[in-house]
């Protein structure tokens, strides 16, 4: 039975009807009553951020860790313009989000905060859904959630502020999304793929983010072929317990794994777009046959051009290949019998240099890998420090790893760490950030983590510089001083914001920080003071 509600109540109720229990946001004129109704009338949880862009990033990480649609809300004008980088990050990451964005009143085109919000949203790659009339509010909310799931991107629902106190009939609308596996490859193209794989002497299986749900089927295929397994960065941890897991494929590979990839004569790629970093700008695939499988036709040929392409579900395709290999009694390749499993994932030792007043970065990472909680969620911000973290810090599985790499921005990490912590409140969150990234975005939300009582460990790689730019000046024998900064003590900042921390300038101080970490009672920050001339180069 339908009943009359104010539109702001209808929107909050419709969001609840989609199964949403948590909403990230920052309130303003156009969304405050909707947020209040979500909390008071429908017992939803509202996580207030300090900056509008943070709400999108928190919802992004929440969606990744929880496997649900993330929800955020902001107000109109500058409330939405503050979200452009975050929306782009989410859109390029193919993350399903719904953003409930207020808009200025339709009857006041000269409103101070009026802007063409549709054009702004479209420029980020996110989708735009207009709340058409008070009477269609419930249907418009349902449509936004449907689109977020099937289009795998953020959808901004544009809500005019002058609708909020209008009355309209409420009627529940939920558009079910068909989530069964996609199609199975068949016909001549499948025959070509199976033939190519069957004839390979040194096959290798590569899994990307689009194949995370097919882990067991890919392992069975690897075992049947006697092929090693690799992942892209976003699928890091997928094959942790497999003897012939070579970990990350591409510029982040170990030297042994990189050589092994170069020896492969057929790489079977599931759910990966094969971009430049994965393929080392094509060098790793030059003389190798490529079979690419993806449910998204747009992913095929987006990086490397494959020899055979199958628009199909990863798991079902892996099962089909195993079936036909068995039917034809094709022997295993024997490739893994040639490999020393103990050397596949061992990265080379770093520099042993110890500068006065600085801790050695690689040594610090190796100790942190040993000492940090094993059930951690790992989040990384952007910066030159990050590739060593990706290579030397482990994660339990891909869902426990959040990397802010989709748009090449720094300053997004702490916000996503908050969202990850809300999605998995019983697990510790470890964030690695550079000094510049923390100043840009981390300070905004560190206190949010304190207010929420999150078990958050923040590691600041502080080389007192914008490192990616610093190294370019150094390489050209130019003065890098314009890239160098004298920041405040990040430990003092953490304490002033309600957390705790420890500054590290030596191996001895690192051990003290790790000991103190065991007794943390809330967000805890470890500031690694690094020599800007001795930070390892990015592996890209």
Cα 511 from chain centre: 30
Looking from the CA of 35 toward its CB, the CA atoms found within 13 Å total 22
End-to-end CA distance of the chain: 58
Helix (H, G, I), strand (E, B) or coil at 371: helix
**Average pLDDT for 150-158:** 96
Alpha carbon distance 445, 50 (integer Å)? 6
Asked if 431 and 372 count as a contact pair (C-beta separation under 8 A), the reply is no
Token pair for 233: 């960065």
Q: What is the pLDDT of residue 301?
A: 81
Confidence of residue 266 (pLDDT cuts 50, 70, 90): very high
Identify the pLDDT of residue 181: 62
pLDDT at 178: 65
pLDDT for 106 equals: 87
| Model pLDDT, residue 343 | 84
Total count of residues recorded for the chain: 540
DSSP state of 520: -
For the chain, the average pLDDT equals: 93
Which residue has tokens 């009943």?
3
Selection from 118, 141, 121 nearest residue 131 by Cα: 141
pLDDT of residue 348: 81
Confidence of residue 61 (pLDDT cuts 50, 70, 90): very high
Residue 51 pLDDT > 80: yes
pLDDT band per the 50, 70, 90 thresholds, residue 182? low
Sign of the four-CA dihedral 16, 18, 20, 24: negative
Q: Which residue has the tokens 């009939």?
A: 169
Q: Which helix (H) or strand (E) holds 230?
A: strand 229-231
* Residue 119 tokens, joined: 């054009």
Give the list of residues 6+ apart from residue 332 with CB closer than 8 angstroms, or none: 224, 225, 226
pLDDT at position 305: 87
Of 26 and 533, the structure prediction assigns the larger pLDDT to 26
How is residue 175 written in tokens?
């558009």
SS3 at position 152: coil
CB 336 within 8 A of CB 244: yes
Residue with tokens 């009582």: 453
Q: Which of 357, 355, 365 is nearest to 385 (CA)?
A: 365
Q: What is the DSSP letter of 441?
A: I
Is residue 28 pLDDT above 90, yes or no? yes
Closest residue by Cα to residue 317 from 294, 299, 289: 294
pLDDT at 363: 94
Say how many C-beta atoms besides its own lie within 10 A of residue 259's C-beta: 10
What is the pTM assigned to this prediction? Answer: 0.94
Bridge partner residues of 167 (DSSP): 6
What is the reported pLDDT for 281?
85
The residue with greater pLDDT, 276 or 414, is: 414
Q: What local confidence, expressed as pLDDT, does residue 441 receive?
A: 87
Q: Is the pLDDT of residue 185 over 80?
A: no
pLDDT, one tens digit per residue, over 192-229 is 999 999 999 999 999 999 999 999 999 999 999 999 99
């Amino acid at each position: 039975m339908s009943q009359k509600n104010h539109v702001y109540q209808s929107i909050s109720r419709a969001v609840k009807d989609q199964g949403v229990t948590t909403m990230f946001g920052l309130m303003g004129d156009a969304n405050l009553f909707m947020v209040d109704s979500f909390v008071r009338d429908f017992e939803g949880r509202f996580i207030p951020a300090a900056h509008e862009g943070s709400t999108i990033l928190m919802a992004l990480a929440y969606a990744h860790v929880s496997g649900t649609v993330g929800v955020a809300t902001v107000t109109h004008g500058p409330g939405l313009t503050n979200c452009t980088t975050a929306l782009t990050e989410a859109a390029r990451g193919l993350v399903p989000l719904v953003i409930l964005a207020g808009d200025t009143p339709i009857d006041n085109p000269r409103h101070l905060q009026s802007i063409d919000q549709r054009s702004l949203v479209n420029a980020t790659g996110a989708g735009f859904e207009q709340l058409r009339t008070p009477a269609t509010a419930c249907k418009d909310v349902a449509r936004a959630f449907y689109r977020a799931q099937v289009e795998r991107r953020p959808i901004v629902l544009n809500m005019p502020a002058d609708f909020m106190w209008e009355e309209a009939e409420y009627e529940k609308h939920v558009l079910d999304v068909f989530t069964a596996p996609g199609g199975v490859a068949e016909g001549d193209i499948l025959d070509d793929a199976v033939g190519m794989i069957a004839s390979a002497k040194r096959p290798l299986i590569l899994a990307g983010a689009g194949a995370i749900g097919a882990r067991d089927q890919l392992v069975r295929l690897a075992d049947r072929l006697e092929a090693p397994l690799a992942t892209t960065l976003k699928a890091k941890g997928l094959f942790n317990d497999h003897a012939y897991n070579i970990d990350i494929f591409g510029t982040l590979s170990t030297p042994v794994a990189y050589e092994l990839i170069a020896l492969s004569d057929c790489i079977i790629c599931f759910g990966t777009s094969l971009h430049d970093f994965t393929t080392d700008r094509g060098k790793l695939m030059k003389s190798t046959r490529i079979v690419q499988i993806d449910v998204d036709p747009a992913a095929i040929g987006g990086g490397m051009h494959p020899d055979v392409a199958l628009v199909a579900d990863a798991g079902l395709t892996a099962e089909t290949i195993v079936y036909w290999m068995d039917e034809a009694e094709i022997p295993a390749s024997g490739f893994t019998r040639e490999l020393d499993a103990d050397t596949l994932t061992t990265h080379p030792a770093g520099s042993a240099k110890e500068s006065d007043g600085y801790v050695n970065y690689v040594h610090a990472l190796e100790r942190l890998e040993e000492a940090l909680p094993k059930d951690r969620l790992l989040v990384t911000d952007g910066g030159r420090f990050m590739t060593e973290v990706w290579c030397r810090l482990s994660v339990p599985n891909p869902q426990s790893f959040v990397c802010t790499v989709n748009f090449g921005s720094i300053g997004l990490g702490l916000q996503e760490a908050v969202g990850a912590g809300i999605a998995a409140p019983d697990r510790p969150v470890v964030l690695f950030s550079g000094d510049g990234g923390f100043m840009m975005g981390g300070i905004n939300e560190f206190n949010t983590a304190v207010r929420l009582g999150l078990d958050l460990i923040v590691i600041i790689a502080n080389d007192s510089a914008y490192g990616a730019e610093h190294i370019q000046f150094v390489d050209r024998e130019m003065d890098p001083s314009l890239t160098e900064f004298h920041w405040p003590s990040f430990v003092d900042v953490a304490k002033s914001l309600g957390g705790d921390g420890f500054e590290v300038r030596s191996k001895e101080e690192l051990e003290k920080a790790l000991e103190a970490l065991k007794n943390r009672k809330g967000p805890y920050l470890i500031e690694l003071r690094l020599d800007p001339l001795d930070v390892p180069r990015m592996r890209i």
